[in-house]
Structure 1
Amino acid sequence: GQKPQVTKARKSIAQFKLREGMPIGAHTTLRGDRMWEFVDRLITLALPRIRDFRGLSPKQFDGQGNYTFGLTEQVMFHEIDPDKIDRVRGMDITIVTTATNDDEGRSLLRRLGFPFKED
């Protein structure tokens, strides 16, 4: 549901000091009110706080109308206390839409207020 799932390493990689089964990340799926609240906070508060932000790339659609983008740090969310962060961690965000192609998805997200770069 809407609780984070811990992602664990599938294989050990010595160069990264990584052992099989070690927690390496987390993922969650937001739906309903929590999803809309997150999207609203992302568009109105978090994205404008990114340094040198010039808009999201309009080319990161997957061919089925879904959009994925990455953030390099989590400090743009004001709910996160910077004093409690041990190191900078990024995140990938995937917006899954009911659109059937990239143009429909781009149009939908643009109307929702996503700030895309102009081509």
Structure 2
Amino acid sequence: MFTPLKEQYQTDIVPALMKEFEYQSVMQVPRLTKIVVNVGLGEALDNAKAIEFAVNDITAVTGQKPVVTKAKKSIAGFKLREGRTIGVKVTLRGERMWS
């Protein structure tokens, strides 16, 4: 079963790419494998509730629970410490990517 986005990709975008780049086979056309939705939160350093709001918002948009991202390094210019929460992200694959 195709979703409207996947159907549009198959019927409109793939033929257009084949024509534009002169591909001989449908298998030469690039395909989407994943979509990453990321929300960076600069204000999360000052406001702890910002993470909760971001988690709720991204869950409502994607239908999937996000992963909280943390800083890998300390950066003095941004007043950032290693391990502090700086955002949330969701990786969509397969059918969830198209719906």
Normalised to the residue count of structure 2, the TM-score between the two structures is: 0.31
Higher helix residue share = 2
Normalised to the residue count of structure 1, the TM-score between the two structures is: 0.27
Higher strand residue share = 2
